[in-house]
Amino acid sequence: MRVLVLGAGGQLGRDLVPQLRAAGHEVLALTRGDLDIAEEGALARLLRSSTFDRVVNCAAYTNVDRAEAEPELAERCNSQGPAMVAKACAGSGVPLCHLSTDFVFGGDPPEGGRGWLESDPVSPSGVYATTKRQGELACLAAGGPLYLVRTSWLYGNSGPNFPLAIVRRAVGGHPLRVVADQVGSPTWTLDLAGALTRLLDLPPCGLLHLSGTGRTTWHRFAEEILSQAGVDAAVSPVSTAEWGAPAPRPRFSVLESERLAALGLAPLRRWEEALGEYLRSDPSVATVLHHSG
């Protein structure tokens, strides 16, 4: 297949592009500097001049707290941009894979302790979550063939991420205060990229949840990072209220899927196992740990 990846310079895009190529696909990887998805007609012109079998939109405004101060920019990237991408893909008949987020969920967890399913109602709160939900709705409204993939708590080998930040602060002797009352599922971008590569071989399936298996808090996640990295440091638990971030966060955003099995896809592996491989494979983590010794 010939695949167009938008937002290829981000954490997920940087893992997805080589995975697609390794699977034998021809990939055109475009960063925001190459193509602004919110520019009127930009993608439509490209789709008229080139043939693609799939388009994957990884482009997004992801700074959750800054979005509260930059709502217009967040809306442009997370709502208006996906709307234009979906419209262009629908007009050309090209299946679109659009990435969304666990932040569309909020409020009390589902009954019985299960995670959020694709059929559960959403309740986004804050600029980031609201604009990402608007992007979902725009993709659905376009009416074209669609993979709408929600994921959660992403971290990857390219650029800043939570595990690397925790290791750096611990090695640097800085105090660690981490929120302990938000529950979710950490997801390594390399695992997600592999799942997306397999998904794109299937017919468009609509909404799908893809995230690491299992659940944890940010505090427990930080403790596991330090344990697996072999760093002895204390992590102090704090509440969301004590942390005082500008943007609201879901207290419970564990994603589960009621559709993976029917598609013949396996769930992503346990978050602890993926974290261990990430810590062993990221050169930035290795550099930090080396200097600490």
Provide the residue ranges of all domains of the chain, joining segments of one domain with +: 2-160+187-215+253-269
Q: pLDDT at position 106, please?
A: 86
CATH class in words for 2-160+187-215+253-269:
alpha beta
User: Treating both helix axes as pointing N-terminal to C-terminal, what angle do 42-49 and 81-92 enclose, rounded to 10 degrees?
Assistant: 30
User: Known catalytic residues?
Assistant: 128
Q: CA 124 to CA 248: how far, in whole Å?
A: 9
Length of the chain: 293
How many CB atoms lie under 10 A from the CB of residue 22? 10
| Reported pTM | 0.96
DSSP of 157-170: SSS--HHHHHHHHH
Place of tokens 């993979």: 147
Render each residue's pLDDT in the chain as its tens digit; 293 residues: 999 999 999 999 999 999 999 999 999 999 999 999 999 899 999 999 999 999 999 999 999 999 999 999 999 999 999 999 999 999 999 999 999 999 999 878 998 889 999 999 999 999 999 999 999 999 999 999 999 999 999 999 877 899 999 999 999 999 999 999 999 999 999 999 999 999 999 999 999 999 999 999 999 999 999 999 999 999 999 999 999 999 999 999 999 999 999 999 999 999 999 999 999 999 999 998 877 76
Q: pLDDT at position 202, please?
A: 97
Q: pLDDT at position 293, please?
A: 60
Beta strands in 14-157 (DSSP E): 26-30, 54-57, 96-101, 146-151, 154-155
